[in-house]
Amino acid sequence: MTRPPRSRASPSAPPLRQDPTEKEEEEKKDWTHAYAEDLRADIYTEVNPSPKATVHQREWRKILNGDPVEINPSVGAGLKVMTINEWSSRWKQNDRFPDCLACQSVSTKEHHFTQTWCRGKRQFESELLCSDCHMFSWRSYSDPDFMLPEEYDKIRWEKMVEAKATGKPIVRDSAKAHA
């Protein structure tokens, strides 16, 4: 009696079906500010007289000293002595965090924003310049268990090295998926 050959591939699971109304709501959702929803830790805040983000620290010093700064390439070329309002005229307000942390004014413009999503975890940084008091409001957030891909890989490799040193069999990620 011959048995049928055993398949090494795992049985395929039926595709997950999403409720049609749920799918429509997800498509209609404004994802612009999703980075700041359902946070699992506190947002770190800081008020500074100069930018914390390195991207504009030099230009800020030049503006305050009355030295020329580089003109935005979309406007022209070269250097120009600018006022604070002229320098920040092309920046936009952050609708999610519009208030200045120093004077509570909503006359702010964001000059620095980054967000990173990795494996469903997130982190972001935002810095605003207040047009009224000329202070910079910094906000940053990171999920408690957020790791960049290189940090995740480092831990994975360290576990594999440790397992090899102790003589344990190394289980590859692809083998875990089929187990």
**DSSP secondary structure letters along 111-165:** EEEEEEEETTEEEEEEEEEETTT--EEEEEEE-TT---HHHHHHHHHHHHHHHHH
User: Cα–chain-centroid distance for residue 56?
Assistant: 19
Residue 134: per-residue pLDDT: 93
Higher pLDDT, 172 or 179: 172
Euclidean distance between CA atoms 149 and 156, whole angstroms: 11
Say if CB 41 and CB 123 are below 8 A apart: no
Is 1 within a domain?
no
Query: Residue 7: its pLDDT value, please?
Result: 41
Structural domain including 97 reads: 34-144
5 in any annotated domain? no
What is the pLDDT confidence band of residue 20, given thresholds at 50, 70 and 90? low
Structure-token pair, residue 32: 């612009």
| pLDDT classification of 40: cutoffs 50, 70, 90 | confident
Does 22 reside within a domain? no
Q: Cα separations (Å) of 70 from 77, 86, 119, 158, 164?
A: 8, 12, 38, 46, 55
Instruction: Say which range, 5-9, 20-24, 175-179, has the weakest mean pLDDT.
Output: 5-9
CA 71 – CA 64 distance, rounded (Å): 16
Confidence of residue 5 (pLDDT cuts 50, 70, 90): very low
Contact 98, 108 (CB under 8 A): yes
Single out the residue of 135, 60, 137 nearest to residue 98, CA to CA: 137
Q: Which amino acid is at 134?
A: H
Mean pLDDT of the residues in the chain: 81
pTM of the model: 0.66
Query: Could you read off the pLDDT of 87-129 as tens digits, one per residue?
Result: 888 889 988 899 999 999 999 999 888 888 888 888 889 999 9
Inside any domain, residue 14: no
Check whether residue 159 and residue 136 sit in a common domain.
no
% of the chain residues with pLDDT over 70: 77
| CA-atom Rg of the chain in angstroms | 25
Higher-confidence position of 38 and 122: 122
Residues 67 and 111 in one domain: yes
Residues 48 and 114 in one domain: yes
The verdict on 106 and 57 lying in the same domain is: yes
If asked whether residues 119 and 44 sit together in one domain, one would say yes
164 phi and psi angles, rounded to 5 deg: -65, -40
29 pLDDT band (50/70/90 cuts)? low
**Are 104 and 66 in the same domain?**
yes
Q: How many domains does the chain have?
A: 2
